[in-house]
């Protein structure tokens, strides 16, 4: 069987087992353009693989993604008898460590959510309503949603009577129910009321959050609006060693603040961590760990709880 056919079978196999595999499929088809896709799998040389990986320099995240994608493909090809060995190098350099996410402070969140700052976004981004943008930010922080999950919410997915959001076809095509608290519930109810005053295209749209034309929110538009907002309220991240603050960091902030609150209340954090993992849509705790950098506040709460336990005053 030719390499091109095995690649397509592998992509189909990954997706049939629950992976969206969009980036992986794109990288494998890009790989086919750099080699002879009509040759057998074993015809690919290590030199060709190294050329695709862009030499033997430091391992960037993009190069790591290409390496991991090819590694998974060749394991599949070898297990099915389409290849006898893998042409990937055994001495691939270590990837760089990921920069820590920016955990927004409570004071920074107040600045981001201040309705007066949203007027800037409305003037510069006429096709994205300020009230819609602000509601989106509340969803990302208040429910810990990914941008794609929030922007794809249908009006029928938002049950404000029960206080439950239905997240459909998230990562790995999984769906989940997300209970929301009374504060976020009030915000969404207010938005629903305001939505009745929108244009006819917006009112008729199946999406809960829409542009003025009734279309779903484009990630690039939202990201640009957020960067403008973030800088306008003085959050540039230059005073820390972390990466530039991102929109996705609102989800990280949700997780850290939730854990910090549990510590502060003396809750059984070990028992509640799997609950947080499920709420975020992760299949295991490993996926949740990256959302929980040890901030000073979180460290203080954890240390206080441990000190109380060591003195015989509570459970750790």
pLDDT in tens, 93-142: 776 677 788 899 999 999 999 988 876 555 444 488 889 999 999 999 99
pLDDT at 173: 60
Q: How many CA atoms lie within 13 A of 114 on its CB side?
A: 14
In the prediction, which pLDDT does 213 show? 84
pLDDT at 125: 45
What residues act catalytically?
Answer: 146, 171, 248, 251, 282, 291
Distance (Å, rounded) from C-alpha 210 to C-alpha 110?
Answer: 24
Alpha carbon 97 to chain centroid distance?
Answer: 18
Q: In 3-state terms, what secondary structure has residue 16? A: helix
Residue 266 region by backbone torsions, left for phi larger than 0, else alpha for psi between -120 and 50, else beta: left
Written in H, E and C, the secondary structure of 172-228 is HHCCEEEECCHHHHHHHHHHHHHHCCCCHHHHHCCECCCCCCCCCCCHHHHHHHHHH
| Domain positions in the chain | 3-79, 115-232, 249-310
The 8-class DSSP code of residue 42 comes to G
Q: Say which DSSP state 166 is in.
A: E
Phi and psi at residue 197, to the nearest 5° = -95, -5
pLDDT recorded at residue 315: 43
Q: Residue 272 burial by CB count (10 A; 0-12/13-18/19+): exposed, middle or buried? A: middle
Q: What is the pLDDT of residue 140?
A: 97
pLDDT tens figures, 32-60: 999 999 999 999 999 999 999 886 566 67
- In this prediction, residue 108 carries a pLDDT of 95
pLDDT score recorded for residue 116? 84
**CATH number for the segment(s) 115-232:** 1.10.443.10
| Block mean pLDDT (10 aa), the chain, length 316 | 95 86 93 94 94 74 88 95 93 73 92 82 63 95 95 95 90 81 96 91 91 88 92 77 82 92 86 88 74 62 47 44
For the question of whether the overall pTM of this predicted structure is more than 0.75, the answer is: no
Per-residue pLDDT, 77: 96
What is the pLDDT, as a whole number, of residue 34?
Answer: 93
The total of other beta-carbon atoms located within 10 Å of residue 136's CB is 25
Query: Tokens 């057998």 — which residue?
Result: 40
Using alpha carbons only, give the angle 61, 273, 292 rounded to the nearest 5 degrees: 35
């Amino acid at each position: 069987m030719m390499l091109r056919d095995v690649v397509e079978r592998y992509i189909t196999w990954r997706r049939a087992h629950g992976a969206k595999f969009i980036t992986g499929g794109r990288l494998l088809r890009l790989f086919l353009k750099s080699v002879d896709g009509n040759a057998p799998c074993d015809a690919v040389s290590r030199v060709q693989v190294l050329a695709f990986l862009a030499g033997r320099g430091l391992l960037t995240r993009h190069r790591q993604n290409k390496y991991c994608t090819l590694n998974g493909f060749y394991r599949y090809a070898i297990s099915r008898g389409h290849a006898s060995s893998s042409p990937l190098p055994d001495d691939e350099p270590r990837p760089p460590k990921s920069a820590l996410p920016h955990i927004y402070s409570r004071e920074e969140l107040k600045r981001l959510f201040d309705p007066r700052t949203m007027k800037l976004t409305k003037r510069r981004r006429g096709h994205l309503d300020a009230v819609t943008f602000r509601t989106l930010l509340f969803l990302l922080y208040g429910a810990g949603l990914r941008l794609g999950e929030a922007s794809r919410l249908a009006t029928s997915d938002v049950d404000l009577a029960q206080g439950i959001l239905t997240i459909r076809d998230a990562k790995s095509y999984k769906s989940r129910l997300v209970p929301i608290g009374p504060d976020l519930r009030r915000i969404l109810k207010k938005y629903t009321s305001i939505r009745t005053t929108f244009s006819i295209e917006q009112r008729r749209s199946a999406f809960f959050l829409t542009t003025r034309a009734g279309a779903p929110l484009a990630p690039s538009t939202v990201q640009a609006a957020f960067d403008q907002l973030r800088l306008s309220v003085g959050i540039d991240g230059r005073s820390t060693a972390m990466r530039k603050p991102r929109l996705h960091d609102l989800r990280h902030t949700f997780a850290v603040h939730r854990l910090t609150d549990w510590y502060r209340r003396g809750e059984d954090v070990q028992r509640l961590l799997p609950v947080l993992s499920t709420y975020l849509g992760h299949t295991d705790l490993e996926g949740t760990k990256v959302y929980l950098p040890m901030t000073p506040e979180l460290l203080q709460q954890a240390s206080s709880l441990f000190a109380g336990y060591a003195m015989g005053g509570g459970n750790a």
